Each structure stands twice: as C-alpha cells, then as structure tokens.
C-alpha cells in the first residue's frame, strides 16, 4: 500500500492512514473516561508498535462549556465574505507550519508546530513532546530534520523545539489579543489524523474559555468551529491577515465521538507570545 504522506521506508509512521479514527489499543492509558457525557481531548496523534496510528487519549473532566466565559475583545479583525478567496492566506501561512514527530521505543506520536525563527526554532504544545522519544520536524517542503526540545512550560502547555541544520525559514506573525472578535473568520493549520499540510476554516466561536484537561488548567482559550482533530496540537489558528491568533490545543467531544464536533480550543496569541519570551530568555541565560 502506498504511503499518502510519502514517508521514507522503515519510518514508524509508515502505516495505513484511514480517513476515520482507528480503535484505540487496549490498556488503562487508553481507557475512555467521560465526565458529564463529554470528554476533552488533547490533539496529539499516537501510534504504537502494533502499528495503530491516530489513537486518541481521553482526558477526564467536564467539557469547556461548563466553565466558560467571554472576554472584552472589542476590535474585530478583517472578516472574509463568502465569495472572497482564502487561498492567498493559506499560501502565506503554510510554509511556517511544520509537523512534529516523536519516535519512542514503544510508541510514537505526531503533532504540529509553527516556525518562530528562521534557524528552525519551533513552537508546539508541551503534550506533543512530553513522551520520551527522538524528536524530528518535517517542514512544509517534506524535508525531515532532527530536533531537540530546548524549553517547555507545562502550565501553559507550550514548548520550544530546535530543529537542526536549517536557515531561511519563514517565521509566523502573531496578532494581538484585541485584534480578534467572536464571529471573525479563522483558519486552522496542522496535521490532523496525520494528514500534513491540512487547513480548515470556520469562525471564532467564543473567547475566555477554560479547560481542565486533567494535566493542566488552561484558561482564556479561544473557541472555534474550524475542524481540528488529533494531530492538530501545536498548529496555528490564524486570522484573515495570516497572523496567528492562537495555538490549537484541545477539542471537546460528546459520547463516543472522537472527531471534531465544532468545539476546538486554542491558546490565545497574547498568552503564547508572553510564554515564548520567557522560554527564550531561559535559552539566552
């Protein structure tokens, strides 16, 4: 069977990638634990030595809507009318989106990331790289390079990864938190279900959401109905100017559903840039 992602032979992700989720392997780590009829899922895709890719990790606690509010954002970003083209925005942002791979002895995982510096400094979620394993980064061109984790903030679920041997990459541009409002058009970039180079569109559905993933207490999140799934973790949520307004981090889903139901969440750009400055200061100290 041909590999739709054109991965090299022998790569642990060289498995069939179906258009729907595969059943998770047995074991207590993957036990489905639901609270209030809903589950919060972090968006990292996983694969074990059995070849099961795209397994989902359920996290107990209530859905985001149970502890939500709205912020006072009043300045709206430019919105896109139905007949406007999104392709120029995609072309602008896509070179700055990467896939983050973590290959371990017993399992592997896959998430997304954004380019912060031309020399290969990458931002992703902490939960993407939290498992032990060898880290690598795949660029939008398809080139894969070794990488290492250089800083992490588990409280805000963010981490910095340094890819090696790179130059001339295109960094993302971050928007201010006051530049986005509920109802604005947004696009989500990443590798959902391992399908790299994917982009989806929707609107900003709400601001100021809170999530208890069981590992972190995340507050002030953006909510979107743009379709995001496992593998989108660390990817970009951008406005119609191509600026990053948030970093995708989780979805809420109900019952036995494991896919997007239009309830995705992203860490807002203001929080992201503040944490990145702190992490970069650690690198320079």
Q: Which residues are catalytic?
A: 127, 157, 233
What gap in Å lies between CA 130 and CA 124, rounded to an integer? 11
Contact 246, 266 (CB under 8 A): yes
- Work out whether strand 185-190 and strand 158-163 pair parallel, antiparallel, or are unpaired: unpaired
Q: Please report, for residues 48, 146, 209, 262, 277, the alpha-carbon distance to residue 214 in angstroms, rounded to integers and kept in the order given.
A: 23, 31, 16, 21, 26
Which ranges constitute the DSSP H helices of the chain?
87-93, 126-129, 269-284
Give the residue from 241, 135, 141, 251 showing the smallest Cα distance to 192.
Answer: 251
What gap in Å lies between CA 18 and CA 255, rounded to an integer? 22
Residues 6+ positions from 87 with CB-CB distance below 8 Å: none
Give the residue from 245, 223, 157, 235 showing the smallest Cα distance to 195.
Answer: 235
């Amino acid at each position: 069977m041909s590999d739709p992602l054109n991965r090299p032979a022998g790569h642990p992700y060289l498995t069939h990638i179906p258009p729907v989720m595969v059943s998770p392997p047995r074991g207590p780590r993957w036990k489905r634990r639901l609270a209030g009829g809903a589950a919060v899922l972090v968006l990292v895709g996983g694969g074990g030595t059995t070849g099961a890719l795209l397994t989902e990790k359920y996290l107990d606690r209530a859905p985001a809507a149970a502890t939500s509010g709205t912020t006072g954002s009043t300045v709206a970003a430019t919105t896109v009318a139905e007949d406007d083209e999104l392709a120029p925005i995609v072309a602008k942002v896509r070179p700055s989106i990467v896939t983050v791979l973590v290959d371990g002895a017993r399992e592997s995982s896959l998430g997304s990331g954004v380019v912060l510096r031309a020399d290969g400094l990458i931002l992703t979620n902490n939960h993407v790289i939290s498992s032990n394993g060898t880290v690598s980064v795949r660029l939008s061109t398809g080139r894969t390079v070794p990488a290492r984790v250089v800083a992490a903030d588990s409280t805000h679920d963010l981490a910095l990864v340094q890819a090696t041997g790179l130059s001339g990459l295109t960094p993302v541009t971050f928007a201010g938190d006051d530049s986005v409002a509920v109802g604005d058009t947004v696009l989500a970039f990443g590798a959902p279900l391992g399908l790299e180079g994917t982009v989806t569109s929707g609107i900003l559905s709400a601001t100021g959401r809170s999530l208890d993933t069981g590992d972190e207490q995340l507050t002030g999140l953006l909510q979107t109905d743009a379709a995001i799934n496992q593998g989108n973790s660390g990817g970009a949520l951008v406005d119609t100017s191509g600026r990053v307004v948030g970093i995708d981090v989780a979805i809420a889903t109900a019952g036995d559903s494991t896919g997007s139901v239009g309830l995705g969440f992203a860490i807002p750009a203001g929080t992201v840039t503040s944490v990145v400055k702190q992490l970069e200061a650690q690198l320079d100290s």
